[in-house]
Amino acid sequence: MLVRKDSKVIAVDGSRMAMFKNVGEAFDPVLELIEEHKNPSLRTSELGTDKPGRSFQSKSPSRGAYEPTDLQQQEEDRFVTEVAQRIEQIVGDKDARVILVAAPRALGVIRKHLKPDTSARLLAEIAKDFGPDAAEPLAKMLAKHEI
């Protein structure tokens, strides 16, 4: 994949976002970290302590339980929504060349929160899980990746 010099690569998962700048050549990218955000991971007990809800049938003695809410996933989705807003700001610059690499679930949440014109201006969306400490493996993947 052609990653032009000074293009930005944003790597996102549920708990981290890192923005890199390509300081290398187009076919041999070298990524330099320019911005990083981390979602402080709280224990589930710190996020909430409620028990799952119960349901009762009025015509029979049977009872059932509702599926408990995944509080960790809600927190990750909230963080990824904030990242989507940051991507809106970055891509708002008309000259910005941005490649988005995100974990598949995070990419789905980001897509829901990006405006259509912002999504259209992204150079590529790649559904892979790379953290902010993975600049070198990410650069190798981009060099081999085909759109």
- pLDDT tens string, the chain, 147 residues long: the values are 788 888 999 999 888 899 999 998 888 889 999 999 888 766 665 556 666 666 667 677 776 766 666 777 788 888 999 999 999 999 887 778 899 999 999 999 999 999 999 999 999 999 988 765 678 888 888 888 766
Tally of structural domains, the chain: 1
76-90 exposure pattern, b = at least 16 Cβ within 10 A, e = fewer = bbebbeebbeebeee
pLDDT of residue 66: 66
Domain span including residue 99: 8-37+72-144
CATH, residue 21 = 3.30.420.60
pLDDT value at position 34? 92
Residue-level pLDDT at 55 = 67
Q: What pTM was estimated for this model as a whole? A: 0.79
